[in-house]
Amino acid sequence: MLRLQPVGEETTVAVLGLRTWDGDGVVRLLDHDTGTGAMLLERLDAARPLTSVADDDTVMTVPGELLVRLVAVPAPDAADVALATVLLRHRA
């Protein structure tokens, strides 16, 4: 899937986050272009929506397990975030 959005701090942080999680609990970032803000993301399986699960306990377990997976990965170093932000502002 191709995601197009204006270049900005949100795009920079999104790319950094998607790289950090590397597809574990989130969509995988396949490629991106810093000049245009375009991101090439893996295609997700639309045949498995959470709304198709009938059991409420199971439905509530999914976000909890997802959160456990996401917080298990250390956040990007503050210096990496700051550098990405500075580079973005320098280009503007």
Write out pLDDT tens, residues 44-55: 888 878 888 899
Domains identified in the chain, total number: 1
Write out pLDDT tens, residues 19-60: 889 998 889 999 999 888 899 999 988 887 888 889 999 999
Place of tokens 């990496």: 80
Residues 6 or more apart whose Cβ sits within 8 Å of residue 14: 39
Q: Show the domain range for 7.
A: 2-91
- What whole-number distance in Å separates Cα of residue 49 and Cα of residue 13? 27
